[in-house]
Chain A
Amino acid sequence: MFDNYVFTKGSCKNVEKDGKVIGFSLSTLITYYRGIPCSMIHDIKVIVDGQEVDRKDIRFSPNGEDYFTLYELETVTTYKWEYGEQASIFVEKDGGLLAGEHEITLTTAIRVAYIPVPFAGSKTRKVTIASNN
């Protein structure tokens, strides 16, 4: 029901730092109809070509500037993930995604006070990473 908001099309790309590819990032809208404090993000999962990414390698940023691990997110009450704002999810991975086509699934789940189970949304996209050469 909120799946159409997960994993913004065309957002997945490798991330370079100091001339080295250190991972990849993708963007997503919230799977809800309002903004929430980041501590209410219950879980984020990334699957690359059938392989689930270790959750300690995932970072979340509500504003593209400040990044938090999923463990840190549990206490991040002063930053909000605003409605309609693209959050950035970074996956730490030496060399990033290899050139070529990948199938990537992003799942986000948030806690909502009036619903007993976390609200989740999931989207799988085919992503093509261009060769650097």
Chain B
Amino acid sequence: MSQIKRSVSMYSLQDNYARGKMSLEDIFRFLSDLDVGMELISDQMIKGAPCPTAATLNKWDELVDKYQMDLVCNDIFINTCLYKNRTLTTKESTDLLIREIKQAHRLGFSLVRLVSMTPPEIIEPALPYAQKYNVSLALEIHAGMSFDHPMTKAFIDLIHKLNSPYVGIVVDTGIFCRRHPRVSSNYFRNQGTSEAVIQYIDDIFASGTDPKRFYKKHGGYPKELSALFKNEMDETYAMFADGYEMSELSILDEHMPYIKHFHGKIYEMTDAGVEYSIPFDELIKYLDKKDYHGYISTEYEGNRFVLPGEEMKEKEQVIMHQEMLKKYIDALNS
């Protein structure tokens, strides 16, 4: 029996929420109907976070209780750039993290996701609070800033050093792209990116590697790519392309013991019911073999690439992804 569980990140429903099409309660109902857990971004939907009013907290408690919500993870950010004239000190950043740990505990979460580039030096001083409030701290491994990034490496070294059940990682499946998301290509095409540049990036993926690795091998943009840059959006596209990585699933082998959670990144669920870039069928088989017990949260990022006048289909895309995950997980058990 597979122990892989499903949840939805509120990143997926951001447009519906921002435009007032879904209230927090509508979101609870939506997740409840899907029978999945919730991944919150407290800065997004909890007014006054990380220090919300008692009234806001009471409303939250009522919703959690009414819908018996499974609270999976809260995504937090340490605002080290709070001031224009300086970066926060380690002490200031640690205090912010401690405040986030307390808030997560109060809201009912036992896991927080630290965004990529969170300073590793604030973890150890906050660890006693993580233990006291039973909140694990997990750094996001995100494409463009993944395992080869110096700050990510420093964090992984720290995990080994601390060897604590309260410290780990959240893996974003955007590191497993087999091709460039075409919704992103369409978006940038509409903004003026040339066909030749889009094709060049597609060819990098088709050759079995990703732009980040390819650029690195060439010490930057290869000459023949730079030669294709005819406007600002060409270079912007080439730059953003390194945010989609093509790693093998086996890159996770050595990290499995401290993987706390997955962001099941989706850019586009196609009519065939699969994600255009990411092989979720292989991922789920892999995680089952590794006896992964945690959640995969749908994180729909296609909302970034909706063309002007085109309809935003956040709910539809989330439902399609959840149906796909369920199908793959059920297949393991049959």
Contact = CB atoms under 8 A, between A and B. Distances in A.
A8 to B, nearest CB: 10
Interface in B1-53: 11, 14, 17-20, 41, 43-45, 47-49
Nearest to B119: A113
Interface in B66-123: 77-85, 115-118
A43 to B, nearest CB: 10
Contact of B20 (A1, A75, A84, A112): A84
Contact of A35 (B43, B82, B115): B43
B169 interface: no
Q: Classify the interface of chain B: helix, strand, loop or mixed.
A: loop
Contacts of A77: 82-83
B304 A1 contact: yes
A118 B323 CA distance: 37
A40 interface: yes
B84 A83 contact: no
Given A1-B305, A5-B18, A113-B117, A74 B85 contact: yes
B325 interface: no
Contacts, number: 64
Contacts of B116: 114
A34 B78 contact: no
Interface in A1-43: 1, 4-5, 29, 33-37, 39-40, 42
Given A1-B305, A113-B115, A83 B79 contact: no
Contacts of B85: 74
Contacts of A75: 83
Nearest to B17: A84
B167 interface: no
A63 B84 CA distance: 22
B145 interface: yes
A117 to B, nearest CB: 11
Interface of A: 1, 4-5, 29, 33-37, 39-40, 42, 74-75, 77, 80, 82-84, 111-114
12 contacts: A34-B43, A34-B77, A39-B84, A40-B81, A40-B82, A74-B83, A83-B43, A83-B44, A84-B20, A111-B84, A112-B81, A114-B116
- 7 nearest interchain CB pairs? A34-B43, A114-B117, A111-B81, A34-B44, A84-B18, A83-B44, A113-B80
